[in-house]
Amino acid sequence: MHVLEVHDCSILEGYRDAETQNEYYRTGKSKVQYPDSKHNSHPSLAVDCAPYPIDWADTKRFYYFAGIVKGVAASLGVEIRWGGDWDSDNVLDDQTFMDLVHFELVK
């Protein structure tokens, strides 16, 4: 909700069941099988979210949006991991799997 006060967005997916998660793994959309994704818990500990309106070709908007999401989370004391910087080292060109819409709670 707090992100929406700063930037409009679309929630693409939260919880994933075993069939969906394993299909994403088989097709390369995920690196983990069920139940090892944070999308697989109730409530989901991960969400796929994109800046609205969605323009998949404009990746710069996804990076900008991720900065907003991370900033809002930090202001609330919530630690998150983003799929464009899995190791959270702020180096964005060292990723082997880019998932610019993925945000997950760190626990």
Structure tokens at 92: 């964005």
Percent helix, strand and coil across the chain, each to the nearest 5: 30, 15, 55
State pTM to two decimals.
0.96
Please state, in angstroms and rounded to a whole number, the distance separating the CA atoms of residues 24 and 16: 10
Contact 62, 99 (CB under 8 A): no
| pLDDT tens string 18-71 | 999 999 999 999 999 999 999 999 999 999 999 999 999 999 999 999 999 999
Structural domains counted in the chain: 1
Across 87-105, average pLDDT: 96
Position of tokens 């690196």? Answer: 31
Range of the domain at 95: 3-105
In CATH, what number is assigned to the domain containing residue 93? 3.30.1380.10
